[in-house]
Amino acid sequence: MPSTEFRTHAQLILDRLDEAGDLMVCADATRRCTADEFAREIRSFRHTLAARGVKRGELVALIAPNTVTALAVRFAASLTGAVTVVCPGADSPDRLNAFLSGLDPATVVVFEAGAAADITAVAADRIWDATDPMPDLCAAEDPAAEVSVRADDPCILVATGGTTGTSKSSIRDFAAYRHLIGGPSSPTRRQLVCTPLAYIAQTAVDQTLLAGGVVFLHDRFDPHEVLESIERDRITHIALVEPLLVELVDCPTRPDHDLSSLQAVTHVGADAPPELRHRLLTALRPGVLAHVYGASEFGPACALAGADYSLDRPDLLGSAGRALPGVEVRIVDDAGRAMDHGRLGRIEVRSPGAATAYWGARAERDRFHSDGWFRSSDFGEIDEEGYLRVRGREADRRVIDGVPLWPLDIENAMSGHPAVRYAVAAPLDSETADFAVWVVLAPGSGINEQDLRSHLVAVGGPRLADVHLQRVLTMPVTAQGKPDRRRLLSQIGVTSGGQHL
Q: Tell which residue, 412, 403, 377, has the closest CA to residue 392.
A: 377
State the average pLDDT for the chain: 91
Rounded CA-CA distance 407/257 in Å is 34
Q: Tell which residue, 455, 342, 461, has the closest CA to residue 400.
A: 461
**How many other CB atoms sit within 10 Å of the CB of residue 139?**
10
Q: How confident is the model at residue 186, as a pLDDT?
A: 93
Is the pLDDT score of 294 beyond 70? yes
Rounded CA-CA distance 38/214 in Å is 12
pLDDT in tens, 192-248: 999 999 988 999 999 999 999 999 999 999 999 999 999 999 999 999 999 999 999
The CATH-assigned architecture of domain 7-18+33-180 is 3-Layer(aba) Sandwich (3.40)
Q: How confident is the model at residue 493, as a pLDDT?
A: 52
Rounded CA-CA distance 384/365 in Å is 32
Q: How confident is the model at residue 3, as a pLDDT?
A: 46
pLDDT band with cut points at 50, 70 and 90 for residue 500? very low
Q: How far is CA 146 from CA 35, 43, 53, 180, in A?
A: 19, 10, 15, 23
Q: Summarize the confidence of residues 398-425 as an average pLDDT.
A: 94
Q: How confident is the model at residue 429, as a pLDDT?
A: 83
Q: How confident is the model at residue 203, as a pLDDT?
A: 95
pLDDT band with cut points at 50, 70 and 90 for residue 134? low
- The answer to whether residues 25 and 75 touch, using CB atoms and an 8 Å cutoff, is no
Q: Summarize the confidence of residues 302-321 as an average pLDDT.
A: 96
DSSP state of 368: B
pLDDT in tens, 343-366: 999 999 999 999 999 997 666 778
Rounded CA-CA distance 428/489 in Å is 7
Q: How confident is the model at residue 401, as a pLDDT?
A: 82
Q: Summarize the confidence of residues 33-54 as an average pLDDT.
A: 96
Coil, strand, or helix at residue 306? Answer: helix
Domain 221-396: homologous superfamily in CATH: ANL, N-terminal domain (3.40.50.12780)
- The answer to whether residues 28 and 68 touch, using CB atoms and an 8 Å cutoff, is yes
Domain residue ranges in the chain: 7-18+33-180, 221-396, 398-500
Torsion over CA of 204, 208, 211 and 212, rounded to 10 degrees?
-160
**How many other CB atoms sit within 10 Å of the CB of residue 204?**
22
> Would the CATH topology of 7-18+33-180 be identical to that of 221-396?
yes
Is the pLDDT score of 326 beyond 60? yes
Q: How confident is the model at residue 363, as a pLDDT?
A: 62
Lowest mean pLDDT: which of 30-44, 77-91, 125-139, 237-251?
Answer: 125-139
Q: Tell which residue, 169, 165, 209, has the closest CA to residue 62.
A: 169
Q: Kindly give the interhelix angle for 35-51 and 9-20, rounded to the nearest 10 degrees.
A: 140
In SS3 terms, 223-261 reads as HHHHHHHHHHHCCCEEEEEHHHHHHHHCCCCHHHCCCCC
Q: Summarize the confidence of residues 388-407 as an average pLDDT.
A: 92
Residues found in the chain: 501
Q: Summarize the confidence of residues 77-100 as an average pLDDT.
A: 92
Contacts of 194 (CB under 8 A, 6+ apart): 66, 217, 218, 220, 221, 222, 225, 226, 238, 240, 244
User: CATH for 398-500?
Assistant: 3.30.300.30
**How many other CB atoms sit within 10 Å of the CB of residue 80?**
26
Q: How confident is the model at residue 431, as a pLDDT?
A: 78
Rounded CA-CA distance 144/133 in Å is 20
- The answer to whether residues 111 and 30 touch, using CB atoms and an 8 Å cutoff, is no
Helical spans, DSSP H, in 160-301: 174-180, 202-210, 223-233, 242-249, 274-283
pLDDT in tens, 135-184: 544 444 455 557 889 999 999 999 887 655 568 899 999 999 999 999 88
pLDDT in tens, 438-457: 999 999 888 988 999 999 99
The rounded percent of the chain whose pLDDT value lies above 70 is: 93
**How many other CB atoms sit within 10 Å of the CB of residue 240?**
24
**How many other CB atoms sit within 10 Å of the CB of residue 474?**
12
Rounded CA-CA distance 400/395 in Å is 15
